[in-house]
Amino acid sequence: MSFEVMLRQLGAGFGQTFLIFILTLVFSLPLGMVVYFGRVSKFKPVSWLVKVYISIMRGTPLMLQLLVWYFGPYYLWGMNIGGYKLTAILLGCSLNYAAYFAEIYRSGIESMPNGQYEAAQVLGYNKAQTFIRIILPQVVKIVLPSVTNEVITLVKDTSLVYSLSYIEMFAVAKQIAAAQTTVMPFFIAGVFYYIFNYAVAGVMELLEKKLNYYR
């Protein structure tokens, strides 16, 4: 196999890697905020259930969660899982990362001094207005480095979906390496991952600089 053909096939696999990455972020970032509100809910059963969910998501391997989401419906209900693979991947990745994002949000929000809330109350803001207009913009700046770390980890974790035989970049590299008995596909895939992570880190750094006025 020529280098150009190998590069083209890996590029096609990277398209699937990028799709999983983007959709996971789209679902997990807002879901993390919902999980945070459940985590700090004054209604104890909800708070307890969310704590258990976060504990399970953080305490078990993502690959295991993906396998459960994919094969679970078949073994439990006999569901046809033929076209369910991408859905299982997005469920597994999104729910896993939402748990991490929820804890990141919680650390940022709880670091806000009480004076911020008192000042907002004096200005006549209600709780929702205080959170959206005063607290949230500052929290975004505080948690951005931690979110960046999780986003970079997500780029690498997309390779775990090969365990479900989903054809993304790492799975393509593995297939080519086995067929051609060469490590070159893994090297090229590593370059793809590095460039992608470098680009993600650059975008997040630019965003962080734009938010410097919150200092």
Residues 138-185 have pLDDT tens digits of: 888 889 889 999 999 999 999 999 888 888 898 899 888 888 888 898
Q: How confident is the model at residue 83 (pLDDT cuts 50, 70, 90)?
A: confident
pLDDT on residue 62: 93
pLDDT on residue 126: 85
- Residue 214: in which H helix or E strand, if any? none
Neighbours of 177 (CB within 10 A): 17
Query: What distance in Å separates the CA atoms of residue 24 and residue 153, rounded to the nearest whole number?
Result: 12
- What is the residue range of 188's domain? 3-214
3-state secondary structure of 99: helix
3-state secondary structure of 113: coil
Mean pLDDT of the chain: 89
Q: What CATH code is carried by the domain that includes residue 160? A: 1.10.3720.10
pLDDT on residue 113: 82
Query: What distance in Å separates the CA atoms of residue 76 and residue 112, rounded to the nearest whole number?
Result: 45
| pTM to 2 decimal places | 0.89
**Number of domains observed in the structure of the chain:** 1
CA distances in angstroms from 162 to 7, 57, 98, 185, listed in the order given: 19, 20, 21, 15
Share of the chain above pLDDT 90, in %: 50
- Tokens representing 157 are 């974790």
Query: What distance in Å separates the CA atoms of residue 109 and residue 56, rounded to the nearest whole number?
Result: 23
Q: How confident is the model at residue 16 (pLDDT cuts 50, 70, 90)?
A: very high
Q: How confident is the model at residue 26 (pLDDT cuts 50, 70, 90)?
A: very high
